[in-house]
Amino acid sequence: MKAVPPASRKERSAVIQARDLGAGYGPRAVLAKLSFDLPWRRASVVLGPGGSGKSTLLRALVNDRLGDGADFWVRGQLTLPVSAQAVVPQGRPAESRTLGELLGPDARQTLESVWACAPAAAVRLDRLRERPVALLPEGLWRLALLTVAIANKAPLVLLDEPEVGLSGDGVRWLARRLLMLRAERTVVLVTQHLPLARMVADHVLLLDEGMLVDQAPPRHFFDEPELRRHTC
């Protein structure tokens, strides 16, 4: 696997920029005029209670909305510096190809290279290499799609609760890989797993009932919530 080249100055200053971003389904508006900047080549983590609109926000960032249903809509301004994205969705994908087919003839080496930080993950996925991704055990299909995203060098990787269905070991593999990935690509991670969020976040967005109620660097968000409450 080729190394990802260092970011150019232009890339380093790029951001995902949303202004008055709204999204919803049919007559229902779920997100209400969100404005935020997400740093490029960093990991942004989206937190919030169930039903607050985290997945809807991630969907709004996806270029290719095929398969989202005709009633999904997005309004407002959204600037995405690149069009190439990889998505690890919340729901199991209808991917009939195997991980081996998706990774190509050097699948085993690619697995070892992608998971050099967690060799046990490479071994586990290698054993499942000949099964269609859609039929992999819960949790592992997410790691399989993450592997493909990394191997394909997508500059923007969007993940919706990738920790779901993983064992403790699986979450540790995921955390290690995301820690590396955030230095190489731009990552937007929706999660309910606070230790994972804390570990990988460079920037945090907090949603509640479709509104952006906080956005901050992790140090402020996790370590100084009291201070923020009194000063904001």
**Closer residue to ligand ATP in complex, CB, 56/110:** 56
Does 53 participate in binding ligand ATP (rule CB under 6 A)? Answer: yes
| Contact call for residue 25 and ligand ATP (CB under 6 A) | yes
Query: Residue 25 or 222: which CB sits closer to ligand ATP?
Result: 25
**CA 16 – CA 180 distance, rounded (Å):** 20
Does 52 contact ligand ATP by CB under 6 A?
A: yes
The size of the interface with ligand ATP (CB under 6 A), counted in residues, is 12
Q: Which stretch binds ligand ATP (CB under 6 A): 44-52, 143-151, 177-185, 218-226?
A: 44-52
- For tokens 């290719």, the residue is 64
Give yes or no for a contact between 162 and 139, defined as CB atoms under 8 angstroms apart. Answer: no
191 binds ligand ATP (CB under 6 A): no
> For residues 25 and 36, which CB has a smaller minimum distance to ligand ATP in the complex?
25
42 binding ligand ATP? (CB under 6 A): no
Residues 67-106, one symbol each (x = binds ligand ATP by CB under 6 A, - = not), give --x-------------------------------------
Q: Residue 115 Cβ, how far from ligand ATP at the closest point, in Å? A: 27
Assigned token pair, 220: 């402020």
Contact 77, 17 (CB under 8 A): yes
How far, rounded to the nearest angstrom, does the alpha carbon of residue 132 sit from its chain's CA centroid? 22
**Residues found near ligand ATP in the complex (CB under 6 A):** 25, 28, 30, 48, 50-56, 69
